[in-house]
């Protein structure tokens, strides 16, 4: 199980604008501090944290942040409409489009996905595979 994901950012306020456009709608809460942004899923009192957390932080070595070539983080949405809505919100919040929401021939018939880049260039996928919605084949 993945415990957390960390991406680097040189401009934390810009990153906050981007991630706050969709992370709260996926259930994540934000804690902000001098170490950057920490997005976590809520945990009931007495329960273990729900993984994974997502951190957006300045680089530890002080060099400019860079996006990993071939690296991508995917977030699951509730349905296809939410994928479309959150993709659009993230674009308005400073992201760039890497693939409009829709079905892809290379994936299963229910895998509905949209791709983005955050302001630092990290690749993000928003997807849904709700079995109660129409699939690629109808």
Containing domain of residue 87, as a range? 4-59+68-128
Contact indicator for 79, 128 with CB cutoff of 8 Å: yes
**Quick check: is 72 in a domain?**
yes
- 116 has a pLDDT exceeding 90: yes
- 3 has a pLDDT exceeding 80: yes
**Quick check: is 133 in a domain?**
no
Peptide bond into 21 cis (omega under 30): no
CA–CA separation, 83 and 36 (whole Å):
26
| CATH number, domain containing residue 99 | 3.10.180.10
CA angle 51–82–52, rounded 5-degree value: 10
Contact indicator for 130, 109 with CB cutoff of 8 Å: no
Global pTM value: 0.91
Report percent pLDDT > 70 for the chain. Answer: 99
> What's the confidence (pLDDT) of residue 70?
86
Q: What is the pLDDT of residues 51-104, one digit of tens each?
A: 899 999 999 899 999 988 889 999 999 999 999 999 999 999 999 999 999 999
- Cα distances (angstroms) measured from residue 43 to each of 12, 58, 70: 25, 26, 32
**Quick check: is 138 in a domain?**
no
Tokens standing for residue 22: 């969709």
**Quick check: is 134 in a domain?**
no
CA angle 50–51–56, rounded 5-degree value: 120
> What's the confidence (pLDDT) of residue 137?
87
SS3 14: helix
**Quick check: is 41 in a domain?**
yes
**Quick check: is 49 in a domain?**
yes
* Domain total in the chain: 1
**Quick check: is 50 in a domain?**
yes
């Amino acid at each position: 199980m993945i415990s957390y994901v960390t991406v680097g950012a040189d401009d934390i306020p810009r990153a906050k604008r981007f991630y706050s456009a969709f992370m709260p709608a996926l259930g994540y809460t934000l804690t902000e501090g001098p170490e950057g942004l920490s997005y976590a899923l809520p945990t009931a009192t007495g329960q273990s944290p729900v993984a994974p957390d997502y951190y957006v932080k300045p680089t530890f070595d002080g060099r400019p942040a860079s996006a990993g070539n071939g690296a991508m983080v995917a977030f699951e949405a509730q349905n296809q409409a939410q994928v479309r809505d959150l993709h659009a919100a993230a674009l308005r919040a400073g992201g760039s489009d890497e693939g409009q929401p829709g079905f892809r021939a290379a994936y299963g018939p229910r895998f509905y996905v949209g791709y983005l880049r955050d302001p630092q260039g990290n690749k993000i996928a928003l997807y849904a595979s709700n079995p109660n919605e129409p699939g690629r084949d109808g």
